[in-house]
Amino acid sequence: MNRYNYLRRPSVKVRVGATTIGGDSPIRLQSMTNTSTLDTPGSAAQILRIAAEGADIVRLTTQGVAEAENMAAISAAVREKGCGVPLVADVHFNPNAAFAAALTCEKVRINPGNFVDAARTFRRLEFTDEEYAAEIDRIREKFIPFLEICKAHSTAVRLGVNHGSLSDRIMSRYGDSPAGMVESVMEYLRIAREADFNDIVISVKASNVVVMVATVRLLVAEMDREGMRFPLHLGVTEAGDGEDGRVKSAVGIATLLAEGLGDTIRVSLSEAPENEIPVAKALRDYIVAREGHPRIAEPAATSPTPTRDVADAVAGFGRTAWPLAVGYDIELPDDALQIDASTDPADAPKAGRVIVISSNHANPTGEIASWIERYVASEGCCPVVISLRYDCEDPELVRLMAAADFGMLMLNGYGSGLHLEAPALTAEERDALLLGILQAARLRFSKTEYIACPSCGRTLFDLPGTLAEVRRATSHLHGLKIGVMGCIVNGPGEMADADYGYVGAGRDRVSLYKGKQLMRKNLPTSEALPALIALIKEHGDWHDPAAE
């Protein structure tokens, strides 16, 4: 991992059908259908649309053996149209479906949180070391036969851990934490190594960008310690839709890509799945274009306290609760010192000025991060405002690039302010973007946040339409986090970061949550939104829009 000079992390190459992931392969793009996997023509048609947008791999939900077995028919229908995109079966709670899918698919995704462990109930469990070891033996007894089938049929495996689906066993010992997520996957990787099975891709996802980034970094460190080089799949799960979903995904995915991490990515949007691919492609291409850039001087040692924490208070900057958005919160002072990050930070003033740092380097975030680290090492205490300019005429691409760059710098603690120049955006659009980036980085909550899954074949109601209805009714509740989830696979757990949750419980049925606590069960969808509003009011978190 290197936040200054872009270089992809070496990984082993995994074959998925005619495609490869990792090694010297390009960073692959993925999406997932939202059709029923028992609907052969509907699923095949959607796969073809996703592939036409540039997807390298497509995943389908296989909640049962019937769905897993029908993957063969879907594959045949897709191949008949001349499309060779590999198909992946997505399995939760049902090892039998995984065994069946291994016979018909190029790759099978299993979730270590529910492949063998019982469905989570958020109960605190106590294990002696001997009892815990016996639980690992239970995993081994089920997992190794699955790997043997995969090996016999040249089927790859994704071990996909989600923050919201850690088992009670893992959470009881490690907590609902990055460490728990990492151990959840490492248990399976150690067993796979025992079985000499190496065709594995790993993902550790969360709806909270800070948790997601921290977990991937921790996983890489642990794999390095144990001599493992498995490829990584990146994504921010339940990112939502529209600008919010794109910004949130860009902040998390691009931060890691810029550090050289990631061999395949998915941007999870609560929209038509084919919409995900152009966004993923734009993010990948923007970061990968840095490959081979002129080398950036690296700090002798990474500072534990970037300028945001050590900066003096000058002209309203520094010592603030969060970085300030220039043009929205504050204006630059007339005597602000404009500095290019290619200059020597030792020559910059140590106090009394606001420094505005910019970069024309092919890797602007790397050069700015290096400059700030070296400035802090020289005992510089001026507040540093990060200034980025994008002359691209496509406002959607500008949003992605700015979220990628500012997001990486904000997550890593750099900068007392953000200054964005983008002729393609209006002042209002610029301000909304900067506030969205700060919210995605969990630094400042200025609007309602929606944690919403992209929907799949398990979703039994119109999730994009429902999310839009929930947003219209609650978008004035600034700072509140509301989860809108298609089913219980990740619902209650992934929504642990949310204040309230709207979770699919069956066909046109919804359950409502306050945090992890189930409050209303199996409501008809026609009653669910009024009941959600009533629940928010009941707990004192509602106010009338006119009262703002």
Average pLDDT, the chain: 92
Give the pLDDT confidence score for residue 452 in this predicted structure. Answer: 80
How does residue 548 score in pLDDT terms, banded at 50, 70 and 90? very low
User: Do you know the residue count of the chain?
Assistant: 548
Taking residues 106-113, report their average pLDDT: 96
Please give the Cα distance from 271 to 281 (Å, whole number): 17
The count of other CB atoms within 10 Å of the CB of residue 522 is 10
pLDDT at residue 118 tops 80? no
Structure token digits, residue 226 = 């144990």
Taking residues 70-91, report their average pLDDT: 97
Give the pLDDT confidence score for residue 406 in this predicted structure. Answer: 98
Non-local CB neighbours of 472 within 8 Å, separated by 6+ positions: none
| Strand-pair category, 500-506 with 509-514 | antiparallel
The count of other CB atoms within 10 Å of the CB of residue 146 is 22
How does residue 306 score in pLDDT terms, banded at 50, 70 and 90? low
Give the pLDDT confidence score for residue 317 in this predicted structure. Answer: 95
The upper half-sphere exposure of residue 400, i.e. CA atoms within 13 Å in the direction of its Cβ, equals: 22
Which domains are delineated in the chain? 14-231 (3.20.20.20), 307-440 (no CATH), 449-547 (3.30.413.10)
* 511-544 pLDDT tens trace: 999 988 889 999 999 999 999 999 999 999 999 9
The count of other CB atoms within 10 Å of the CB of residue 344 is 11
Give the pLDDT confidence score for residue 304 in this predicted structure. Answer: 63
Per the confidence metrics, is the pTM higher than 0.85? Answer: yes
How does residue 456 score in pLDDT terms, banded at 50, 70 and 90? confident
CA proximity to 56, closest of 214, 220, 280: 280
Q: Which SS3 state, helix, strand or coil, does residue 185 take?
A: helix
Question: What share of the chain has pLDDT > 70, as a percent?
Answer: 95
Give the pLDDT confidence score for residue 453 in this predicted structure. Answer: 78
Taking residues 116-141, report their average pLDDT: 81
Q: Which residue has the higher pLDDT, 168 or 473?
A: 473
Using CA atoms, how far residue 289 sits from 189, 257, 280, 409, 420, in Å, is 32, 11, 14, 19, 21
* 342-363 pLDDT tens trace: 999 999 999 999 999 999 999 9
Taking residues 403-416, report their average pLDDT: 96
The count of other CB atoms within 10 Å of the CB of residue 464 is 18
Which segment of 44-58, 106-120, 377-391 scores lowest on mean pLDDT? 106-120
Non-local CB neighbours of 27 within 8 Å, separated by 6+ positions: 257, 262, 263, 264, 265, 284, 288
* 194-215 pLDDT tens trace: 999 999 999 999 989 999 999 9
Give the pLDDT confidence score for residue 363 in this predicted structure. Answer: 98
Give the pLDDT confidence score for residue 405 in this predicted structure. Answer: 98
Give the pLDDT confidence score for residue 288 in this predicted structure. Answer: 98
* 485-499 pLDDT tens trace: 877 665 566 666 789
Question: What share of the chain has pLDDT > 90, as a percent?
Answer: 77
Beta strands in 123-190 (DSSP E): 156-162
